Amino acid sequence: MAVDIAGRIAAIKKEKNALLFAHTYTRPEVQDSADLVGDSFELARRAAEEKASIIVLAGVRFMGETAAILAPDKKVLLPVYEAGCPLADMIAPSDILRLRKEHPSAAVVCYVNSSVEVKAISDVCVTSSSAVRIVRNLPEEEIIFVPDRNLGSWVSEQIPEKRFVFHRGFCPVHQQVTPEQVRAAKERFPDAVVLMHPECTPETRREADYILSTGGMAALVKEKKHRCYLVVTEQGIIHTLRRHDPGAEFFELTAPTLYCQNMKKITLESIAQALSEEEPTVAVPDQIAAKARRALERMLELNR
Ligand code: SF4
């Protein structure tokens, strides 16, 4: 059945000059059908560069919006429009306006996991793989980092010479992990090196050997320096990592299981339907898209 749908997806992609981009947290079969599997930064950058007429973004809504803003010449399809990101919903534009008033000389740095309205009034966007480099490259000494307080605190630890103000947002998938749970898993898998996403809390991050974005995890595994990993981020990435080093061993936390329900809403069936109907398309009003594009393009420039 999955093979039939995958074949149908491949045929429609060819007929319509479409590309399928999938985030590393999506289902294994979705990743296997994709032309590109990557983190938010890679998906955003390639959406702008590719020559396709249609891009199907297998990911949550802010990823589709980001692709549509950076690639206005392409039709961007989001197979499950209601698949959102709870972290992105934890901040409103009014929060940024208030923070700007309180810290008038600070730069507003907004994690890409945010709405277009929030991006439109931010100075620059970042992803977890680009945040440290971009914040370091900013001339401002004070940084308002929104919406993820955990990623923000991790960035601040790398750049102690700047002052940071955080919003209170967090990713519910990563926030739930405790140091005790990681220690228990380390006891079960004593040979494993611990890869952890910076969206985990500062206390939990102390248990990690490497704190990396999903793109950073993929790059490390490709080096084949280690043979055994405990992966502390959304479990979909294990499929991606196994493809990069099939001989290595990968373990995940089982208590709790790190599972993003929104990412898992995207199925092969929803992708095939989106491709054949060319719906739902991501439409961002021009005026707001232009403002959000400035923050996203600055992200691409400052990451060089
Ligand atoms: S894993 Fe967390 S940050 Fe990523 S989409 Fe799911 S809820 Fe949002």
Residue-wise pLDDT tens digits, 188-245: 999 999 999 999 999 999 999 999 999 999 999 999 999 999 999 999 999 999 999 9
Distance 86 CA to ligand 1 centre (A): 7
What was the pLDDT predicted at 108? 98
The CATH classification number of 173-252 equals 3.40.50.10800
Number of C-beta neighbours around residue 77 at 10 A: 26
85 lines ligand 1 (CB under 6 A): yes
Distance 262 CA to ligand 1 centre (A): 8
- Given CATH 3.40.50.10800, say whether it is the number of domain 88-171+288-302: yes
Q: Do domains 2-84+263-283 and 88-171+288-302 have the same CATH topology?
A: yes
263 lines ligand 1 (CB under 6 A): yes
- The pTM of the full predicted model, rounded to 2 decimals, is 0.95
Residue-wise pLDDT tens digits, 160-198: 999 999 999 999 999 999 999 999 999 999 999 999 999
Architecture of domain 2-84+263-283: 3-Layer(aba) Sandwich (3.40)
Point out the residues of the chain with pLDDT beneath 50.
none
- Nearest CA owner, ligand 1 atom 6: 260
What was the pLDDT predicted at 41? 82
113 lines ligand 1 (CB under 6 A): yes
Q: Where are the domains of the chain?
A: 2-84+263-283, 88-171+288-302, 173-252
Sorted by sequence, the CB contacts under 8 Å of residue 51 that are 6+ apart come out as none
Query: Which ligand 1 atom minimizes the distance to the CA of 148?
Result: 3
